[in-house]
Amino acid sequence: MTKISGKTVLITGGAAGIGKLMGEVCLSKGARKLIIWDINDATLNETTKEFTDRGFDVSPYKVDVSSLEYIQEAAAQILADGAVDILINNAGIVTGIPFHQQHASAITKTLAINVEGVMQVSRVFLPAMIAQKSGHIVNIASAAGMMSNPNMSVYAGSKWAVLGWSESLRLELESMVGDLHVTTVTPGYIDTGMFDGVKSPLLLPLLKPKAIVDAIIKGVEKNKLFVRKPFMVSSLTFVKGILPTRAFDWFVGSVLGVYKSMDEFKGH
């Protein structure tokens, strides 16, 4: 069991959306300190003020997780005061257009934030966790890392990478002595601005931010290997394993409507 009370928690992309909600829940559960990394000055300042006005210990850092220099500089300052106990890799971006229309810069940026950023942030904080023989890393992947989707190729590719890496990291840490854990989160569409315009597929309703945040925090406390929401996401591996590819495409695409869910995507 991972206790949040008395722990130092760092959340990337923690100034808004589910990142902010996760921080709020951790503070309400007695986290000693919340460290927020975010690239948006305005929301970073607003969220920090909101939490500190309520008496919480919050340390904000403007960090672009696609920049190794930013990551290493901020991490050095934080680690000078001790290890991070719980790291939540939440920062991410999504583009929703056909692959042949993607700009080279958008591909580079998506991979830099969604894949390399997650790995580099974990890399700088992991040695201190290993040294103290305790720590928990939470990686926000996606159901898109378990199932391909039209108009989501770059995002899906990045989340497939996160899913594979996160599982490998878990196995490595489990072979070590200590209380070291990795929880991989694979949510469907979340009802936030990030997925504005998405059509909710049959059996895959838009997740309410508070509901998925509660599930993630509960998963951390119980050292769950995966947090998969909604229920249909938990069934994907089984369904994909038993159905031929064309039958799976028909069921997911034509019956559930997943393959058309990004047709009117706007996002931000």
Q: What are the tokens at 5? A: 């009370």
Given the structure tokens 């490998």, which residue do they identify? 168
Nearest to 142 by CA among 67, 236, 214: 236
- Active-site entry in 61, 70, 155, 259: 155
User: In this structure, what are the phi and psi dihedrals at residue 137, rounded to the nearest 5 degrees?
Assistant: -110, 130
3-state DSSP assignment of residue 60: strand
| Residues 229 and 188: beta-carbon distance below 8 Å | yes
Nearest to 88 by CA among 16, 11, 167: 11
Q: What are the tokens at 17? A: 């959306």
| Residues 59 and 35: beta-carbon distance below 8 Å | yes
Angle between helix axes 117-132 and 68-79 (nearest 10 degrees) is 20
Clarify whether 155 is annotated catalytic: yes
d(CA 137, CA 120) in angstroms, rounded, equals 13
Helix H or strand E segment including 227: strand 226-229
d(CA 27, CA 223) in angstroms, rounded, equals 19
Catalytic positions: 155
